[in-house]
A and B are shown apart, each in its own frame.
Chain A
Amino acid sequence: MRSVESGRLAVSPWLGIGLLVGLVIILAGCGVDTPQNTFAAEGDVAEKQKDLFNLTLWPAIAIFILVEGLLVYALVRFRHRPGNEGLPKQVHGNTKLEITWTILPAILMLALAVPTIAGIIDLGRPPAKDALQVTVTGFQWNWIIEYEEYTDADGNPLRVIGTCSTNCAELHVPVGREVAVYLESSDVLHSFWIPRLAGKLDAVPGRTNVTWFNAVNPGTYQGQCAEFCGLGHAEMRISVVAQSQEEFEAWVQEQLGGDLTTNAGDGEEGLAEANTARSKE
């Protein structure tokens, strides 16, 4: 009877492993659509983040199986057996073991720190000089997107205002070109997140956070605000439309009413001016 009970404890790791297997199957992309699947990376940033996740997933699964395995083994092996009423040997500890299971995890953690810090520095670099410069401003509850590179007849940057009651924001970008995002907020905290292209960065009122990403294949990539921002938080969606340079320029033309002016080259100055203009508003 007791062995049956302890046998049932074995459900614990198998349930976990079963779910992880289920997860892997789901993430392999079988069946349902998963437009915000962090594993279906379509940009260099998301790719790197996915690789780092996988790098820790396997040691984590190994440690999980080790610990749960030892636990279940101990429960079965050292269960009280009827008729054996004597007390077990009173072991108080073992210093060598203690040192081992302090040092080994510490080494593993330091080993994980190396790719972590490399990844932080890698993704934390400033955007490339020739990146498409975009200012994205979060508000309750959508995004304003401004392209300093493209201005209308009056010299104002191309500006797309998303409102989720009509059309949520669409950020059009050329495929393969790096996009520099200058992230701002006009009210509360928001977070800019396109899972298949890049992890999130918060839009913090009063400061400009800078990040970059690219899309390696054409397509529409779903994203949504990831920092709780009040009533409309769930609807605060955005999508990135990655298209060829020609299609992108045609879209810009359309937005500007056929009057395309390119400011490429003085993007940073243009941005600085745009920022100054906005802070005076």
Chain B
Amino acid sequence: MASEAAGRRPITVSETLRQLRTQGGDYGGVWSWIVTVDHKRIGILYGVTAFVFFLFGGLEAMVLRLQLSNPDGIGVNADQFNRLFTMHGTTMIFLVVMPLSAAFFNLLIPLMIGARDVAFPRLNAFSYWVFLAGGIFMNVSFFTGGNIFAGELGAPDAGWFGYAPLSLRGDTGIDYWALGLLILGVSSMAGGFNFAVTILNMRAPGMALLRMPLFVWMTLATAFLIIFAMPIITVALFQLLFDRLFDANFFNVAAGGNPLLWQHMFWLFGHPEVYILILPAMGIVSEVLPAFSRKPLFGYPFVVFSGIAIAFMSWSVWAHHMYTTGLGTVANSAFGMSTLLIAVPTGVKIFNWLGTLWGGSIRFKTPLYFSIGFISMFVIGGLTGIMHSIVPADYQQQDTYFVVAHFHQVLFGGAIFGLFAGIYYWFPKFTGRLLHEGWGKAHFWLMFIGFNITFQPMMILGLLGMPRRISSYPDGFGWNLWNMVATLGAFTIALSILLFIINVIISLRSKERVGPDPWDGRTLEWSLPSPVPPYNFAQIPTVKARDDFWHQKYVEDQAGRPVPVVADGAQGAPANEHDGSEEDHEVHIHMPSPSIFPLIAALGLPIIAAGLIYDYALVAVGAAVLMVGIYAWALEPPTE
């Protein structure tokens, strides 16, 4: 693909733009989405798919909450309950928060660093299709239990953590779970490498590392966490599958295996995973707060390095999930201390966000609301995390609803609020339309109130001795009231999500269009038209400062007060507002060619996985599909 331009006259920007405009007719229809390698479209696919899974996971949560609303339940039996909570956790982590973060990586990273696409556009498409295949594969397991309409659910039933030896005993649901996670791991790894390479190699001239927007930094940290964490769970899942499918004995005690091996492997992956889930949301909040405070991020280098510190330290705290397994006093002390210390960089971030708001001129738009929701709820998650690192106290809290409350405080109060802030903030960039403010604020308040009345009562439940993962509980333990409150809260959250869906529909149908820069943004993506054209930048920008686009619009006077740049002033006009027509640089806009083969290759993986469960012959079929996909992908000539 690189050599084809060698013998030809390089075409100019204006010619390319003309060509792309005439191709506009091709840039539509379902087929164009199936073969797309455009990072923005892949981002939208990721986002929409993850949102659909969010509704699945939410539905599962609603059934769980209804069952627990009173001691008698609603007739969900223990078997159904176990399968539903396993799928709720697995779905929300691997099919919702991770891919929603990936949606933002895809949509934003090339725009923020001034690139035309990611480093490996087809690998990017492959990541998405593998994610979709893995998600569907995982959920198909619901149908393997018999007649699903008679309540005979398939699906894994050993929890999202799949502790051995229980996970050695379950039915095929667990195979679906383990193989599904392996498939999703391929997707995450491909994405992790793609974004690490993109950020390190594809930055526009002048975009030094310490000029990168915070979201780009957090994506880089997340990408490296993914690259190092996914192989660990991959190994663990292989061991589990070998035990299950081929009678290996990694976790089989009778044959000398060790069930704690699984826990070490799982949490050595699982704790960095928590930061894979939260760092992108932290990055989003670090972009939204400056835009609506109209000030730069307070303490930029400290926020960057505290994020990196969190990423490093996340490798040293895994055994705080295992205080009660009998690791001994020395191990428990060491992991207690490392867990206490990870609170320090987390606190630095929170204080810098407060510093960003401080002295600002805060505009109360919906993205800001969700960012404030993030900070105020994440603080509780952090503080309860500190309480868990007090090891002897944790002997009481481990595996109770106190822990359930804690991590929802982090992953819902944190990650989900942060991701919604991002959706409201960047929605206009990719649709050309703002989400409606009134519906947005109603969504926020309902979700915020619903969140608090769902998860704060769970803290009380945990302290009153209610363990997790129980499908029913006896009357007379003082748990009835708080469980009912939590259930009402869960339905309030569900209602808020309905408001969000209505908001998206009415906003997309609205005829009101928005300009390139509705929020007076600071980063490069706001210099581009909304929606962003396929080629992103007509001309690759040259970056001269952190928050480069802001500096094109404003300069700071001696006192540090910003003054708008006069259009023809001495400071020079914004450098990016070319429509290309007056430019005749000999620049060739190289656009990656669409391809069906990433999808074909991705299809091979679930076939292989199904083969491991049902018939090894299918493994060969799946492998053949995968190989055909990869070879055709490699050998396909560019269409340009």
Contact = CB atoms under 8 A, between A and B. Distances in A.
Given A9-B372, A88-B295, A188-B165, A38 B463 contact: yes
Interface string B456-498: 1101100111111111110011100100000000000000000
Contact of B328 (A2, A32, A81, A124): A124
Contacts of B260: 204
A108 B424 CA distance: 37
Contacts of A37: 463-465, 478
A113 to B, nearest CB: 5
A159 interface: no
A206 B261 CA distance: 12
Interface in B358-381: 358-364, 372-373, 375-376, 379-380
B390 A52 contact: yes
Nearest to A77: B358
Contacts of B347: 101, 105
Nearest to A228: B469
Contacts of B19: none
A86 B559 CA distance: 14
Contacts of A46: 396
A237 to B, nearest CB: 8
Given A56-B386, A87-B361, A230-B166, A191 B399 contact: yes
Contact of B82 (A22, A64, A231): A231
A153 interface: no
A68 B390 contact: no
B163 A228 contact: yes
A57 interface: yes
Contact of B354 (A9, A60, A67, A232): A67
A89 interface: yes
Contact of A53 (B165, B373, B387): B387
Interface residues of A, number: 104
Interface in A112-126: 112-113, 115-117, 119-124
A79 B364 contact: yes
Contacts of A166: none
Given A87-B294, A200-B398, A202-B324, A56 B390 contact: yes
Contacts of B390: 52-53, 55-56, 112, 115-116, 119
Given A56-B393, A120-B336, A88 B376 contact: no
Contacts of A56: 386-387, 390, 393
Given A92-B296, A188-B166, A226-B398, A74 B357 contact: yes
A60 B296 contact: no
A233 B469 contact: yes
A94 B259 contact: no
Contact of B165 (A23, A34, A187, A191): A187
A250 interface: no
Contact of A101 (B348, B379, B394): B348
A74 B354 contact: yes
A163 to B, nearest CB: 16
A142 B253 CA distance: 20
B163 A36 contact: no
B295 A91 contact: yes
B159 interface: yes
A146 B591 CA distance: 73
Contacts of B165: 187-189, 205
Residue in B169, B259, B556 with the greatest tally of chain A CB atoms within 10 Å: B259
A60 B382 CA distance: 9
B350 interface: yes
Given A88-B361, A89-B559, A200-B398, A188 B169 contact: yes
B395 A49 contact: yes
A38 B541 CA distance: 60
B299 A98 contact: yes
Contacts of B384: 60
A19 B457 CA distance: 8
A67 B378 CA distance: 11
Contacts of A38: 396-397, 463-465
A29 to B, nearest CB: 10
A120 to B, nearest CB: 5
A33 B259 contact: no
A193 B396 CA distance: 8
A97 B392 contact: no
B350 A67 contact: yes
B460 A26 contact: yes
A258 interface: no
A228 B166 contact: yes
Contacts of B638: none
A272 interface: no
A106 B344 contact: yes
B390 to A, nearest CB: 5
Contact of A89 (B383, B394, B398, B560): B560
B561 A90 contact: yes
B285 to A, nearest CB: 12
Contacts of A53: 387, 390, 393, 396-397
B299 A93 contact: yes
Contacts of A81: 361
Contact of A34 (B328, B358, B389, B477): B477
Contacts of A115: 390
Contacts of B467: 193, 224-226
Nearest to B262: A189
Given A89-B559, A112-B390, A229 B259 contact: no
A92 B560 CA distance: 10
A240 interface: no
A-B CB proximity, top 10 nearest: A36-B465, A199-B395, A34-B478, A234-B470, A206-B253, A209-B326, A124-B329, A93-B299, A119-B392, A195-B465
Interface of A: 2, 5-6, 8-9, 11-13, 15-16, 19, 22-23, 26-27, 32-39, 46, 48-50, 52-53, 55-57, 60, 63-64, 67-68, 70-71, 74-75, 78-81, 84, 86-94, 97-98, 101-102, 105-106, 109-110, 112-113, 115-117, 119-124, 187-189, 191, 193, 195-196, 198-202, 204-207, 209-210, 222, 224-234
Given A39-B463, A56-B393, A74-B354, 6 more contacts: A35-B478, A64-B380, A70-B354, A89-B295, A116-B391, A124-B329
9 contacts: A37-B464, A52-B392, A55-B390, A56-B386, A67-B354, A80-B363, A86-B561, A205-B253, A233-B469
